[in-house]
Every structure is written in structure tokens, then in C-alpha cells.
Amino acid sequence: IWRKIHDHSSWYRHNIRSQLLNQFLKSAAEVLSPKGEIHVALCGGQGGCSATTLQDWKGSWTASMFAAEHGLITVREFPFDAQYNLSSHRGVDRPFHLGKDPKMYIFAKPDGVLSVPRDIQLCCRHELHVMVPNDDGVSSSCSLDQILSGDAIESIIQNIVPDGIRVEIPARKILSIPTEHGEDECIAVFLVVYCSEKAPLTRDMADEWRANTENEVSKYIPLRQNRKGRTVSRPFPYPALHPEIKYHTTGEK
């Protein structure tokens, strides 16, 4: 049980305390029983698990990201009713500011049954750029319409990732890109999102899935070569996804 609910805005203190939380979760995960739970109480905004913007997430202690790095999932988040507001400092009890909306976060080891509520799932995203060929350039197992709608792409990727990871393609866009030969190339851009539904998610894991995705999808339809191999985003909370979508299907060259 962690109850470090002091509200401090200093960036230095923010960084020190977030790393302290990271080390606490690491140590706790190492001794946690299979059915055990880790309870962490933080001031509103410090946990970041349900942040609705990337700015709020980056200003938090990114608790769910640290938990995932140590093999944990965030199974619950709920208001915490703090029963005290004193902290001992150099032998003297001093009051501290609780801030708004303290929250309790519950972390546990994945067991295939525990699931993370969608509004606190951790995600990584990347763009997948595919060339839109003539009908004869597409694998017979997938129609061009299925590919462009995103349904076939999502199904392919879902079969690649481990159990407990949910795949979404929440945005897609068709681009016309001029070539040096004077002809335009038609490109379909898909925003691929990996979500920690029942399993931990880290950037390294998601980047491995991104590489596997590119290899598998290229068996069905050609990919845009200069957009392959780009690292996935850093992890972020699912509620921050949709406000950011318009900025990440830009189709820049």
C-alpha cells in the first residue's frame, strides 16, 4: 500500500517522486502473490491513468506506464477519501495539501481473467501506410474494399498480438501523393492502436508488434516504404486517444 498523496507542483519534486513510485512498483511486483494487489493513493492528476490529453498525461506520474514496465496492469481507479492531512517532517507533524480528487489505483498481475476498464487502458499507436494498387495487386484472401475499410487490417493485426491486447483502427485516410514521374500515388493511412485490455503494454512490446504488423500486412498489400520501421508512440491513456487523432493521420512525406 502506497499513500503518498502530497500535492507538489515543482518539476524537480515531480520527477523525484515519480521515480520513487516507479521503484516502489518494481519492488512490490517482485514479491506480489499471484492473486495479490498493489494499492496506490495519489492526488488528482498525479496518477494520469484517465488523463484526457497528452499534456495532462505528461504532467502526471504516469503510474500505469511504470506498472506495465514491471508486468502489472491497472485494474481499478476510484476516488480516495483521505482520512488524514498531516505528514511528519524532521520530527514535526505538518499539514500538507491534498489537491483535488485524490484517487486510489489498484495494480495486479495479469491472469487472463482480470481486465482493465477501457477508460484507464494504456495504449501505443503508429501509422500504417499502404499503397492502393489495382485489384490484381491485392491478395485474393482480402478484397480491396475490406482492406481500405480497415476491417481486414484490424483482423490481421489482432491475430498477431498476444492475448489480452486489443487492437483498434480508429482513423483512416486516403491520400494522393505526387511522384517524380508526374503521376499521383494513392495511399491509405491507418492509425493502429494497441490497448492493454488484459495484459501489460510497453513501448518496446508495441514496437515489436508494429514490426510484425508491417511484415504480415505486406503479404497482402504493398506498404509505403519510406514510412516503414518508424517507432510507435510512447504509451498514453486511452481517453487521450481521440482528441489526438486528427494530429496523427497527417500523411506527411
Alpha helices in 43-116 (DSSP H): 54-58, 63-69
pLDDT at 27: 96
Can you give the pLDDT of all 253 residues of the chain as single tens digits?
A: 555 544 445 444 567 778 899 999 999 999 999 999 999 998 878 899 999 999 999 989 999 999 999 999 999 999 988 776 666 666 777 666 666 788 999 999 999 999 999 999 999 999 999 988 755 545 444 556 666 777 889 999 999 999 999 999 998 888 887 777 667 788 899 999 999 999 999 999 999 999 999 999 999 889 999 999 999 999 999 999 987 665 544 444 4
Give the CA angle between residues 166, 171, 174 to the nearest 5°.
135
Distances from the Cα of 75 to the Cα of 66, 104, 196, 245, angstroms: 14, 11, 11, 26
Write down the residue that cell numbers 519534486 correspond to.
13
pLDDT at 253: 41
The predicted model scores a pTM of 0.85
Write down the residue that cell numbers 503518498 correspond to.
4
Instruction: Name, in order, each residue with C-beta under 8 angstroms of 174's C-beta and a sequence gap of 6 or more.
Output: 132, 148, 186, 187, 188, 189
Give the CA angle between residues 184, 189, 191 to the nearest 5°.
170
Q: Beta partners for 74?
A: 107
pLDDT at 12: 43
Q: Beta partners for 192?
A: 126
